Amino acid sequence: METVKVTINDIEVEVNANSTILEAAKMVDIQIPTLCYLNLEGFDIANQTASCRVCVVEVEGRPALVPSCAEIVTDGMVVRTDSPKAIAARRTNVELLLSNHPKECLTCSKNLECELQELAQRLGVMEISYEGERMLHEIDHSSLSLVKDPEKCIMCRRCETMCNEVQTCGILSAVSRGFAAHVGPAFHLNMVDTSCTFCGQCVAVCPTGALTEVNNVRSVVAALNDPTKHVVAQVAPAIRVAIGEMFDMDPGTISTGQLATSLRRLGFDGVFDTDFAADLTILEEASELVHRLENNGRLPILTSCCPAWVRFIEHQFPDLLDIPSTCKSPQMMFGAIAKTYYAKKVGLDPKDIVVVSIMPCLAKKTEAAREEMDIDHMHNVDLVLTTREFGAMLKEAGTNFAHLPVGEFDSILGESTGAAVIFGTTGGVIEAAVRTAYEWITGDELENVEFKQLRGLEGIRSATVEIGDKSLNIGIAHGLGNARKLLEEIREGKSNYHAIEIMACPGGCIGGGGQPYHHGDMEILRKRQEAIYREDAGMKVRKSHKNQEVLKLYEEFLGEPYGDRAHKLLHTHYSPKERI
């Protein structure tokens, strides 16, 4: 590759000819502050609008300052990133942003996680010299998943890049002009009235408090303090490899045992694991796969664990609603079992049971209220907290999470296998399904359970798995733009897959919209993924159909997998929705 020589703050460096000044500076450990810029390395996701002008630097021979995030280096270029002129301009630009920003940092849900706040501190903004009119907008509280507060928007367009280029949902766009300009949906619609999937990737990358999750912490605390309620918790697989980050533990630290203990100390009456329901999901989904294979059913089968993905297909591909598996997601299966089987076992009226989910996800909040999943007009799941909300709840309670003793999940909805843990990352659901389908179809014991060809972080992956005399073509996509490509192949009749796993978020649930903020550091996601596979490898039982509590559930209550009662409680249906 062609290289050029540039001088940055008197340091000479040789870099690829297509590098930006920002990238070149990074090579010699010179930090240039950025705000709108976002580059999720390895995921092919970049926001390079150069709209905030926070990264400006001086280039010799150029009369005006240039944005280093977008300016490509040239041979012999001489750059100063630390000149008084550049530093003053950055501070001015941040002051200008702040002059049109509600300065309510103390009560903002993004307090201490806000990149604008951090920048103001770093650039030594002590006063805002520009007073004047401030743009006023209504806060959008319409959905159960996310809150949009355009007054805190700085027009960095990161959310727009995520929504349009990565997720291809096209909900968010810059609208109006001049002072009234902001990012929002078509026709100023409420988010709930759009085809938003509530994947929450816009929230994951928003530098300020303009996009945040709907906070349910108060409601959960109230339920825990209501003596008439029996409150049970379930924890999704991806939480155990991420929540530690909120307590200064290294990314990729596994804290399953601390999670169980922390929930018990908060006063939950039942401390359970969504992994239990993930194993249950595999029994249903693998049964459905085998059923479709043996009965010339519709192929490929698509996984249905991810509620953002489910909304995506309903709004964007309403003609393909017969291909996703009819299985509810593990979160919803858990709720359905908690309010039937478990309620009976502990002798409680299901109306007195409150099911709380800890999820890496914003879409799970909306999924919990899907009426077609209700049982006797009762939601399966009552309250959903993101990893971040749960972490905040623990901090509020003064929990020293990193030092908690290791605890266990409660029986009878707490046992899980390695197959369930890997649901937390892209490729995991389908690998878990293959482990079970293999043994069911061949009748042989599967010795090596690790299907490495299904693993990784590439956006679209495919592999052929030999199961006895059958070859199963498997596709995997994470990120909805990648999912769209596979769906278009199916629509055009060009797809030869038997089964496809789709997750809306880049990386799968480890990269969910409700996870601790990664602030653009994709190394964190890689470490979470490694931790997921490490946790799986350390489990004694690694196949879902060997989960004894799940088997007991079938024996005592559900009957056959994919049978009548399972259908009533564990399966659902989809309906076409408008695209807007």
Partner 1 sequence: MERSKLAKVKLPKEKLVELDAFIDSLEDKEGLLIHILHKAQEIFGYLSLEVQLYISKRLDIPAAKVFGVVSFYSYFTQEPRGKHTISMCMGTACFVKGSEQILETFCNELGVKSGETSKDGLFTIKDVRCIGACGLAPVAMIDDKVYGHLTVESVKEILDEYRKEEQNENQHSESVI
Which residues participate in catalysis according to the annotation? 285, 288, 305, 325, 364, 367, 372, 509
Residues 6 or more apart whose CB falls under 8 angstroms from that of 332 comprise: 367, 368, 370, 373, 380, 381, 572
N residues, the chain: 580
Q: Cβ closer to partner 1: 188 or 298? A: 188
CA end-to-end distance (rounded Å), the chain: 44
Cβ atoms of residues 446 and 296 within 8 Å: no
**Amino acid at residue number 90:** R
| Near partner 1 in 553-572, by CB under 8 A | none
| Near partner 1 in 163-182, by CB under 8 A | 164, 169-177
Residue 185 binds partner 1, judged by CB under 8 A: yes
Q: Cβ closer to partner 1: 124 or 576? A: 576
Lookup: tokens for 374: 């209700």
Of residues 193, 269, 450, 530, which one binds partner 1 by CB under 8 A?
Answer: 193
Residues 6 or more apart whose CB falls under 8 angstroms from that of 31 comprise: 25
Q: Cβ closer to partner 1: 82 or 489? A: 489
Task: Round to whole Å and give the CA distance between 478 and 490.
Answer: 16
Stretch that binds partner 1, among 15-23, 24-32, 183-191, 427-435 (CB under 8 A): 183-191
Residue 580 binds partner 1, judged by CB under 8 A: yes
Least Cβ distance, residue 579 to partner 1 (angstroms)? 8
Q: Cβ closer to partner 1: 249 or 580? A: 580
Least Cβ distance, residue 181 to partner 1 (angstroms)? 8
Strands 56-59 and 78-80 turn out to be antiparallel
SS3 106: helix
Least Cβ distance, residue 336 to partner 1 (angstroms)? 30
Give the DSSP H/E element, type plus range, for residue 420: helix 418-421
Size of the site for partner 1 (CB under 8 A): 21
| Near partner 1 in 133-152, by CB under 8 A | none
**DSSP letters spanning 115-131:** HHHHHHHHTT-------
Task: Round to whole Å and give the CA distance between 497 and 485.
Answer: 13
Residue 190 binds partner 1, judged by CB under 8 A: yes
User: Virtual CA dihedral for 69, 75, 76, 82, nearest 10 degrees?
Assistant: 10
Q: Cβ closer to partner 1: 72 or 580? A: 580
Least Cβ distance, residue 202 to partner 1 (angstroms)? 12
What Å distances lie between residue 73 and 13, 133, 246, 318, CA to CA? 11, 39, 38, 47
Of residues 122, 344, 567, 579, which one binds partner 1 by CB under 8 A?
Answer: 579
Least Cβ distance, residue 155 to partner 1 (angstroms)? 12
Phi-psi region of 471 (alpha: psi -120 to 50; beta: other; left: phi over 0): beta
Cβ atoms of residues 110 and 54 within 8 Å: no
Residue 156 binds partner 1, judged by CB under 8 A: no
Least Cβ distance, residue 500 to partner 1 (angstroms)? 23
Residue 252 binds partner 1, judged by CB under 8 A: no
Task: Round to whole Å and give the CA distance between 402 and 393.
Answer: 15
Task: Round to whole Å and give the CA distance between 96 and 544.
Answer: 56
Of residues 72, 105, 128, 186, which one binds partner 1 by CB under 8 A?
Answer: 186
Q: Cβ closer to partner 1: 53 or 157? A: 157
Cβ atoms of residues 160 and 174 within 8 Å: yes
Residue 369 binds partner 1, judged by CB under 8 A: no
Q: Cβ closer to partner 1: 313 or 413? A: 313
Q: Cβ closer to partner 1: 139 or 222? A: 139
Q: Cβ closer to partner 1: 99 or 164? A: 164
Of residues 70, 189, 249, 392, which one binds partner 1 by CB under 8 A?
Answer: 189
User: Which residues are paired to 13 by β-bridges?
Assistant: 6
Least Cβ distance, residue 159 to partner 1 (angstroms)? 12
Residue 187 binds partner 1, judged by CB under 8 A: yes
Residues 6 or more apart whose CB falls under 8 angstroms from that of 363 comprise: 145, 197, 198, 199, 200, 306, 307, 308, 311, 504, 513
| Near partner 1 in 535-554, by CB under 8 A | none
Nearest Cα neighbor of 50 from 145, 156, 134 is 156
Stretch that binds partner 1, among 58-66, 186-194, 396-404, 484-492 (CB under 8 A): 186-194
Least Cβ distance, residue 232 to partner 1 (angstroms)? 35
Least Cβ distance, residue 577 to partner 1 (angstroms)? 12
Q: Which residues bind partner 1 (CB under 8 A)?
A: 164, 169-177, 184-190, 193-194, 579-580
